[in-house]
Amino acid sequence: MEQIDNKSLDFILCIEKLLSSISTVRKCLLSLTDIEQNSSIQSEESIKKLKAIKDTIISLTPTVETVGQLGPTSTLVKHLSNEYICLCNDYKKHYSLIMANTAIFTEYKQLIEDLSKWLSSTNANIQEVSQSVDKQQILLNVKVWIIQE
């Protein structure tokens, strides 16, 4: 009986440590976003910190999943799962906000816009050539028909 109680206590302590880790990562993420909005940090640093946060989230995944399998009905486990999901969603949201302000994103966006313009222009040219070819084919067919008569 004492062994079961120790395992339960260890399980609860593990969950509390995971919750603490998730809270710490969330604070880092929020502070990174605040710093980025004040423009006192360079984009490269922000990207490196975002990658570190992502790596941390990824490293938490197996543990959170295992805990979820061991005690799926526990209120504490459900709380842990919800906090982890919130952290993942916060990361996605903040990643988008931070990356939108980087030079890499701006350059990428410009390349996509340029490609879109080029594709539209190319499509218009192809349609023009296609219509011209169709007209020439029709004229050729008419000439052949006239000659045959």
74: left (phi over 0), alpha (psi -120 to 50) or beta: beta
Contact 32, 98 (CB under 8 A): yes
CATH of domain 1-101: 1.20.58
> Which of these, 41, 33, 34, 53, lies nearest to 98 by C-alpha position?
33
Which amino acid is located at 146 in the chain? I
Per-residue pLDDT of the chain (149 residues), as tens digits, is 344 456 688 889 999 999 999 999 999 988 886 655 555 455 677 788 889 999 999 999 999 999 988 887 889 999 999 999 999 999 998 888 777 777 777 888 888 999 999 989 888 888 888 788 777 777 777 777 777 76
The residues, ordered by sequence, that sit 6+ positions from 59 with a Cβ below 8 Å of its Cβ are none
Q: Residue 103: is it exposed, middle or buried by C-beta count within 10 angstroms (0-12/13-18/19+)?
A: exposed
